[in-house]
């Protein structure tokens, strides 16, 4: 066991049952010309967390603990993309359209892949998910069970959408969840702050929050 100096109060980590989940650090969200930019967002905000997220991933690898990556993407025939998702808003490009990095958020296209700076290494699990939460229509739950995990650290984007959705889903399934506050980001800084406060409100109602340095210290790396 190791103590993590988290908010709203410290949490004891069971290291053999601890894993890192890195949500949707994909080119379509983080690089210019992708889906995030087509919605009018400043991708530079998301790119700013790449070095910290890399340090967090390196810490888990050094500690010999599992790292799981997710990618939000859809089948080429769009059979898993409901109109309510494809048709929302007025973006310059929609999911499935041709973009600078291939078809937007389509499995197997360059833009849907994880950015090179955080790319999975051999043996790390990658979950392709058609929804915001990682449990929906994926084997994510089975993967966590097979790895014997019950505590999860979360990083990635965006804080208030895919990260928070997956944390809430995990919390409902009995996992203890920790958000790495400097390894997650939003296109809207106020949304990130609000999500952090919601997650740790009322005695960690969804989970705990901590910095990458605090998490690495608890891992002993």
All structural domains of the chain = 2-30+44-88+115-219 (3.40.50.850)
pTM, rounded to two decimals: 0.97
The kind and range of the H/E element at 102 are: strand 102-103
Residue 90 has pLDDT above 90, yes or no: no
Q: Cβ(3)–Cβ(134) under 8 Å?
A: no
Q: Cβ(29)–Cβ(37) under 8 Å?
A: no
Predicted pLDDT at 92: 80
Nearest-10 Cα torsion for 138, 139, 141, 143: -140
Whole-angstrom Cα distance, residue 67 to residue 18?
10
The kind and range of the H/E element at 156 are: strand 151-157
Q: Please tell me the total number of residues recorded for the chain in this structure.
A: 221
Active site residues: 24, 129, 162
Q: What is the mean pLDDT of the chain?
A: 97
- Mean pLDDT for 51-65 is 98
Q: How confident is the model at residue 93 (pLDDT cuts 50, 70, 90)?
A: confident
pLDDT tens for each residue of 97-148: 999 899 999 999 999 999 999 999 999 999 999 999 999 999 999 999 999 9
pLDDT tens for each residue of 150-192: 999 999 999 999 999 999 999 999 999 999 999 999 999 999 9
Q: Provide DSSP, 32-97.
A: TTSHHHHTT--THHHHTTHHHHHHHHHHHHHHT--EEEEEE-B-TT-TT--HHHHTSS--SS-TTS
């Amino acid at each position: 066991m190791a103590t993590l100096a988290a908010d709203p109060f410290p949490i004891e980590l069971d290291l053999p049952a601890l894993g890192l989940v890195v949500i949707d650090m994909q080119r379509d969200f983080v690089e210019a010309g992708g889906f995030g930019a087509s919605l009018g967002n400043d991708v530079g905000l998301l790119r700013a967390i790449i070095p910290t997220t890399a340090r967090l991933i390196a810490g888990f690898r050094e500690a010999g603990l599992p790292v799981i990556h997710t990618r939000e993407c859809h089948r080429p025939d769009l059979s898993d993309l409901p109109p309510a998702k494809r048709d929302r808003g007025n973006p310059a490009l929609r999911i499935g359209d041709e973009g600078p990095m291939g078809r937007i958020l389509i499995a197997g296209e360059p833009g849907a892949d994880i950015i090179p700076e955080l790319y999975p290494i051999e043996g790390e699990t990658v979950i392709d998910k058609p929804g915001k939460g990682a449990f929906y229509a994926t084997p994510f739950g089975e993967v966590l069970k097979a790895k014997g995990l019950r505590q999860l650290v979360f990083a990635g984007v965006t804080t208030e959408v895919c990260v928070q959705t997956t944390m809430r889903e995990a919390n409902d399934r009995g996992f203890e969840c920790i958000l790495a506050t400097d390894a997650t980001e939003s296109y809207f800084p106020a949304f990130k702050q609000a999500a952090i406060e919601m997650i740790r409100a009322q005695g960690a109602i969804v989970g705990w929050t901590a910095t990458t340095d605090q998490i690495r210290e608890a891992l002993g790396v």
